Structure 1
Amino acid sequence: METKYGFTKMSLAEFAMWLSGLRVSRTVVQIQHHHTYNPSYILFNKSNHFERQKAMRDYHINSNGWADIGQHFTIFPDGSIVTGRNMEKSSACIYGQNSKAVCIENFGNFDVGKDVMTTEQKQCIIEVTALLCSKFNIPVSTDYIVYHHWFDLSTGARNNGTKNNKSCPGTNFFGGNKVLNCQQNFLPLVTEKIRGSIKTDASKVLKYVCVSTETLNVRILPNSSSPKAPEGSTVQLGAILRVYQEKEGWLKISGSNSRWVSAKYTIEATRAIINATTLNIRTGPGAAYPKDGSLSKGQIVFVTEFRDSWCKLAMEERWLSKNFLKF
């Protein structure tokens, strides 16, 4: 395991060990797969992992205007994994889809006729996806494991690659970038690597809350003089947190460790599942407001305000019809 420029490079075995000890406060329900496209294999010399990751961060900050590198992890052709954005922060990879996601950039151009994925990278992509599914209890399904190609670039609406889409993660990524390709060629390989079962029982969760301040300290005891949590001392604006216990204005946000945040810097959120084939997002609480994207059946959302038959998405000025949500 090596660290440089603020990034850490790991082998698959090291990543598995690192991930098992990782504590993430924000709720993660989706894994996104991308390819870097450029840089492609020709720019990788088997020893320049950190330089390539730094170059991507510089591009994302200086050209895209983002606060940091967009992805949480990059998987390289030799099977190495390099960390990127802090896991407590939402990714910056698919418009309108980042708040509850882990973003993986797979180094290379995997369109037909371009880079041929190495065996080492292929196995690492499968294993990392399986490890993340186990860590965050993410079902192995195309509702929760997604490709960038399935989302409209301008609106973030899921259209499964029918218009205004990138080819990302590549037209030859595990045999193709369509939903059916993922279901037939990629997800079965992930399922084979799952260690144990995916736990979908949320009965221990008391409720969900959304962070309503720029940064919120995580402490080891329910008081402001308590030390901050050593593995992750803050959570960010808009993060959705699971609450397991309430105590005198404090919320316990871990089911296994003593980790607390002040309740006054959060607002209650309600978990819901899209129950329509396609559900339009509106800029206000009514059908007369302009569309601002759409969501697909089975996607999970968190709403923080109800107004008549409309629901507000977390900290965003974006609204959904309550009639097409399953709570």
Structure 2
Amino acid sequence: MTTKFGFTKMDIQEFEAWIDSLKVARTVLTVQQHHTYSPSYQLFKGNNHFELQKGMQDYHINHNGWAAIGQHFTTFPDGAILTGRSLEKSPACITGQNANAICIENLGNFDTGKDSMTVEQRDTIVRITAKLCTRFSLPVNTNSIVYHHWFDLTSGQRNNGTKNNKSCPGTAFFGGNKVSDCENNFLPLVAVLTQPTPQITGQIIKYAMVTASSLNIRTRPDPSSAKANDRAAATLGAVLRVYEEKSGWYRISASQQHWVAAKFTAGVKHATVTANTLNVRTGPGTSFEKVGAYTKGQELFIVEQKNKWSRIGMDNKWVSNDFLAFD
């Protein structure tokens, strides 16, 4: 591994060991696939990984006004991976779909007739996706693994590429960018490499969302105890898994004594969409404007309930309880 400009470069074997050792407080539900479009293969010189990554970061900060680079990881034509945004922070990659997501940018333009993906990058994309699914206990399906093309650019509504969509991750990305292309060509490759989820010691008793801008993780349920030195603080909006509650503190690790103060969190409920299409509205009722839709099997975190309606995350998005299955 090598580090420069705050990014770490590794090969896929190093990544697989690294992600297993990394402690992440934020609950992850989806892995997003993108292509950079620009820079494309033409700008990759074989040794300028860090310069290209820094160029993307500078663009995201100075042009887009974001706090950091948008993606968590970038894959390169030689199969290398560079880290980007902290995994404790949501990405800035798909409008309205970034909470609880990990964003992968694959360097290149994979639209038909443009860059022809190398064998090395193809292998890395499959393996990094499979490893993330294993690490975060995600099923290999098109609710957990998503393409940017499936979401409306303005609203973030999932429409599976029927209107106002980017081609991202490319019309030739593993045979195409449609849902059926993903199911037929990409997911089977990922599924073969996905390992059984390791047995978790401890049971999740609830979920909690961070309400502070930064929430320290400590080694005991005591404000005077030391901070955990092997993990970053949890950030605003992160949904934490709670394994134990004691004297106003939550233990957020299944295997270690890692605690956060409960007063800096809000309780959330976990639910799964049961309708084929579930409309999202701006308020708790059918009279409110429709602003999107969720698909069957999507997992949601509910922060408020009113009149048999539920509000999703920190957004002003509401759905009917009639089409949700709650844990």
TM range, smaller chain? over 0.9
Deviations 1:154-197 (A, max 9, x none): 111111111111000000000000111111111111111123x1
Specify the code of the residue in structure 2 equivalent to 1:211: V
Deviation at 1:289, TM superposition (A): 1.6
- Could you tell me which residue of structure 1 aligns to residue 16 of structure 2? 16
Distance 2:275 2:229 in 1: 42
1:289 aligns with 2:288: yes
Deviation at 1:224, TM superposition (A): 0.8
Distance 1:204 1:146 in 2: 28
Specify the code of the residue in structure 1 equivalent to 2:177: N
Aligned residue runs from structure 1 range 66-215, under 5 A = 66-195=66-195, 197-198=196-197, 204-215=203-214
- Could you tell me which residue of structure 1 aligns to residue 239 of structure 2? 240
Specify the code of the residue in structure 2 equivalent to 1:169: P
Deviation at 1:232, TM superposition (A): 2.2
The alignment yields a C-alpha RMSD, in angstroms, of 1.4
- Could you tell me which residue of structure 1 aligns to residue 58 of structure 2? 58
- Could you tell me which residue of structure 2 aligns to residue 39 of structure 1? 39
SS at match of 1:97: coil
Q: Aligned in 2, Cα 1:17/1:203: closer, same or farther, shift over 3 Å?
A: closer
Distance 2:269 2:50 in 1: 40
Q: Aligned in 2, Cα 1:158/1:298: closer, same or farther, shift over 3 Å?
A: same
Deviation at 1:64, TM superposition (A): 1.1
Distance 1:9 1:202 in 2: 32
Specify the code of the residue in structure 2 equivalent to 1:283: T
1:212–1:315 contact (8 Å) kept in structure 2: no
TM-score, normalised relative to structure 1: 0.97
Specify the code of the residue in structure 1 equivalent to 2:12: L
Specify the code of the residue in structure 2 equivalent to 1:17: A
Q: Deviation above 4 Å: which 4+ runs of structure 1?
A: 199-203
Distance 1:279 1:260 in 2: 36
SS at match of 1:39: coil
Distance 2:252 2:308 in 1: 30
TM-score, normalised relative to structure 2: 0.97
Give the unaligned 5+ runs of structure 2.
none
1:58–1:69 contact (8 Å) kept in structure 2: yes
Specify the code of the residue in structure 2 equivalent to 1:217: N
Distance 1:36 1:108 in 2: 6
Distance 1:150 1:244 in 2: 35
- Could you tell me which residue of structure 1 aligns to residue 226 of structure 2? 227
Deviation at 1:203, TM superposition (A): 7.9
2:201–2:255 contact (8 Å) kept in structure 1: no
SS at match of 1:116: coil
Distance 1:234 1:254 in 2: 13
- Could you tell me which residue of structure 2 aligns to residue 314 of structure 1? 313
Distance 2:118 2:257 in 1: 42
Give the unaligned 5+ runs of structure 1.
none
- Could you tell me which residue of structure 2 aligns to residue 216 of structure 1? 215
Distance 1:314 1:111 in 2: 34
Q: Aligned in 2, Cα 1:57/1:240: closer, same or farther, shift over 3 Å?
A: same
Distance 1:41 1:231 in 2: 36
Deviation at 1:199, TM superposition (A): 6.2
Q: Aligned in 2, Cα 1:9/1:239: closer, same or farther, shift over 3 Å?
A: same
Distance 1:234 1:7 in 2: 19
Distance 2:48 2:39 in 1: 12
Deviation at 1:88, TM superposition (A): 0.2
Deviation at 1:316, TM superposition (A): 2.0
Deviation at 1:262, TM superposition (A): 0.3
Distance 1:42 1:13 in 2: 26
Q: Aligned in 2, Cα 1:306/1:144: closer, same or farther, shift over 3 Å?
A: same
Identical amino acids, percent of aligned pairs: 56
The number of residues matched between the two structures is 326
Distance 1:246 1:201 in 2: 18
Deviations 1:220-244 (A, max 9, x none): 1111111111222311111110000
SS at match of 1:232: coil
Distance 2:311 2:202 in 1: 24
Distance 1:167 1:128 in 2: 22
Deviations 1:231-288 (A, max 9, x none): 2231111111000000100000010111110000111100001111221221221222
